[in-house]
Amino acid sequence: MRYPNSHLARFIDRPNRFISHCRLIETGEVVTVHVKNTGRTTILQPNVTTALVKSDNPARKTQYDLVAAKKYDQFWINVDSQAPNKIVKTGLGNNVIQLPGIQQITQVTPEVTFLDSRLDFSGIGDHSKKFFLEVKGVTLENRGIAAFPDVPTTRGLKHVKTLQKALDKGYLSYLLFIIQMEKITAMTIDTDIFEPLAVEISKAQKRGVHVLAYDCQVTQDSLNLDQPVPFDLNQKFVSDGLPSSIKKRQ
């Protein structure tokens, strides 16, 4: 996917979850920006290079959306929380995303209700195999290891439990992590942030829920699926804390 009308800026601060201030590199103007990710996205530190998308809607209170940031000024991380579902919809539709147990996906329906949960996708594969799939975007990284979540997520925990209930009803079930950056060697759960999610995912995997991960190719104005990444609950994730001083990726 591509973002039109992209502009580079330097991050200044984030007064709340929805708003930040950035200085446009090309003009020096300080602008108020909508942050398209309400989580604790630790990459947003003072003076970090960011990618903003300017809206053509004059009625908007904020003219810009913050969609990506450049970690250590070396590689982009997309922070648009709506983007993973968009690229997954395309990836399922053209069978770029490979689901274990399904050779060919023949139908995809976004945003479906099952029992008391709303899941991101349902679909049908070859031989009339029905499935549910939940997507989680990932923006945490340290030394090539990606992790989820960035905040405790009871909603995410509920989704994993719902996927197990779908198994009981005869559906195939998938949990898909979209890592919004490239060159990732492994995907895991940050147990320091929310250990119950790791416990529930382990239980779900043993029951037959498939847990998958893909990383992405990211530029200031694009996000595209790249390749599968191993998911490993035994991989320990240690947050680097992202101090504002520039570090080298190791």
Three-state DSSP class for residue 20: strand
Tokens 């990726």 label which residue? 249
Looking at the chain, the whole-number percentage of residues with pLDDT higher than 90 is: 90
pLDDT in tens, 44-90: 999 999 999 999 998 999 999 999 999 999 999 999 999 999 999 99
Q: Which of 150, 157, 195, 189 is nearest to 38 (CA)?
A: 150
Q: How confident is the model at residue 249 (pLDDT cuts 50, 70, 90)?
A: very low
Domains of the chain, start order: 6-72 (2.40.50.580), 83-228 (3.40.1350.60)
Three-state DSSP class for residue 136: strand
Report the alpha-carbon distance of residue 98 to residue 107 in Å, rounded: 14
Contact by Cβ (8 Å): 204, 164: yes
Q: Can you list the pairs that 231-236 forms with residues at least 24 positions away whose Cβ atoms lie under 8 Å?
A: 231/177, 231/186, 231/187, 231/188, 232/186, 232/187, 232/188, 233/188, 233/189, 233/198, 233/201, 233/202, 233/205, 234/188, 235/145, 235/186, 235/187, 235/188, 236/188
